[in-house]
Each structure stands twice: as C-alpha cells, then as structure tokens.
Structure 1
C-alpha cells in the first residue's frame, strides 16, 4: 500500500523524476503508479497489479491487462509474482537470451514466461 501514498508525495516524486535520463525505467506491481506519478508513463502502455488497473489509468496511454508490458524503454510488470519473469526478461534484454536461460536454469525456474506485450 506504500505506493498509493508515495504517488502523492511531492518530494519523493521529484526525486524519482531525477531518473529521467536512466536508459530503462522498470517497475513491478504498483510501482508503475510511481512511474506514472513521475510522468514517465504519459502516452505509454503499462500494467500493474490487477487490483490497481483503475488507479493506473490516469497516468498512462493505455492500461494493458497482462503480466509484462514493454513500451520502448519503459517496462512494467503485474503483481509481485511477475517479478521473477520481469527479472528474467530484463536479463534477456541486457545480457542476451543465453545468459537469461543460464540464470533460469541456475534458479531452477521451470515456468515459461507468458503475457509479454511489446510496443516499440
């Protein structure tokens, strides 16, 4: 519930806006509300925890009801359980598919990532 409070915290949002030049902005669960409050999701597709789709709507171009959404360099994930898939997805973007598969094997992750929407 902390993100719901922080999205209205001016000094925190100002601090977060300092990440403007960061190559990738990534959030999982309701962290997307913070990216939205900081203005990073304007005109973007994004996702969040399913119970917070309505809270995300004012901040982005379109709420996509799925697990992972990549809109250019903005990547948002659904609920907390999506964080492993999101981490693996980022690994594949930054280090390549082979590196991601090696980590997936090392952490004994048998699941297939699903629900990934890309908008470039």
Structure 2
C-alpha cells in the first residue's frame, strides 16, 4: 500500500487488515519501490497515482521486471478520463477513483485477487 496521505493510508490499511490481508505500507514512491524490490511477498500493489518521488505507474513499471505477474490497483483523485494517457493501464492493472466507499474498494480487491 503506497499512499502519501496518512489518513487515507491508515483507513485502507485497516480495511485490508479487517479483510484478512497482511499489509506492507509506504508513504512515498521510493519507499514503496524498496518494498517491491525486497524479498517480501507481495500479491497486489495498491498505490496512489500522484506520489512524491515516483508516481504510482513508475513504481509499478520498476517493480514488474522482478514481479512480472504483479497485480496493481491505482487510486486517483482525478477522474478516469483525466489520466495521463489512454494507455496508462497495462494488463493486470486497475483504477479506482477517490473518494470511494470502503465496500466498493473491498469488492474491487476481491475481484482483482480472484483473477
């Protein structure tokens, strides 16, 4: 979980814990990438799109050579049609727009993890 807003990060980490997931968290892009480049088990990267240091897509792209099957859920406060480009999402990547209800996030996570 990579999110620079502490309140948002805390809420999502709590939800993930309640859903039975073990969560590793980072507050910026370089810290998130360091986790992904470690030997920690990571099944899903949840990351804000706009982060200090590295943005969410840069983190995912840098992690994928070592973790080719990494599933990614981007979060953004921008409308989906305001993303940097039409090809922002590659295979295995999804997007959710903030703010979102926690039950919607939980449903999306179940769907992503079931793939």
Q: Which has the larger radius of gyration?
A: 1
**TM-score with structure 2 setting the length:** 0.39
